[in-house]
Amino acid sequence: MKRRMLAFQKPVLLLLIVLLLLSTTAFASPKNNSTVVTSIAPTEKVSFTEDFTVTSEGGRFEIGFAQVDFRKSFMENLPITFTTEIYAENGLVYIEFNPSVESFFKDVKVHAYGYSGYIYDRTQEKNIYVDIPNQVIKFEHFSRRCFVF
């Protein structure tokens, strides 16, 4: 009887060891779409600039901590290339699009995924610390818009 028990225990023990060695361990953190910069103020000017071309198919484009969503045929005279910049003035953070567009057929959405960190303030001529929450801004036309704090 003891031999049968030992004969059974060895393969089970070996199987458990093999399973432990072959399995992978994953550590997951909660979903967090925010960008955090936690260091001393950088010496370089912190701003986000991106050029992108939008066709009649629309599209999604990333700039810094934001994503710009264009729907199909949102305006006439496509394709068009935009220069987009995120920066600060007088302590407020703006997103600016060039060229300016007077109106769209369909709203354009900017999703800010949260940002805690430094950004260059043009009027103060230094990097300032900002905390931008997650938010969605709808644009009916392009020029510049302030993020909500």
Distance CA 42, CA 23 (A): 42
Identify the weakest region by mean pLDDT among 16-30, 83-97, 119-133.
Answer: 16-30
The single-letter DSSP state of residue 148 is P
Across residues 94-107, what is the average pLDDT? 90
pLDDT, residue 102, reads 86
pLDDT, residue 78, reads 92
pLDDT tens readout for residues 48-78: 999 999 999 999 999 999 999 999 988 888 9
With tokens 């010496």, the residue in question is 43
- Write the DSSP string, 39-65: SSPPSS---EEEEEEEBTTBEEEEETT
Query: For residue 29, what are the β-bridge partners?
Result: none
Tokens for 102, please give them: 């007077």
Distance CA 130, CA 88 (A): 9
Residue 74's nearest CA partner among 131, 142, 4, 143 is 142
Distance CA 34, CA 134 (A): 8
Tokens for 100, please give them: 């300016």
Tokens for 4, please give them: 């049968």
Q: Is residue 27 pLDDT above 80, yes or no?
A: no
Tokens for 56, please give them: 């009649």
Q: Taking the domains of the chain in order of start, what are their residue ranges?
A: 35-146
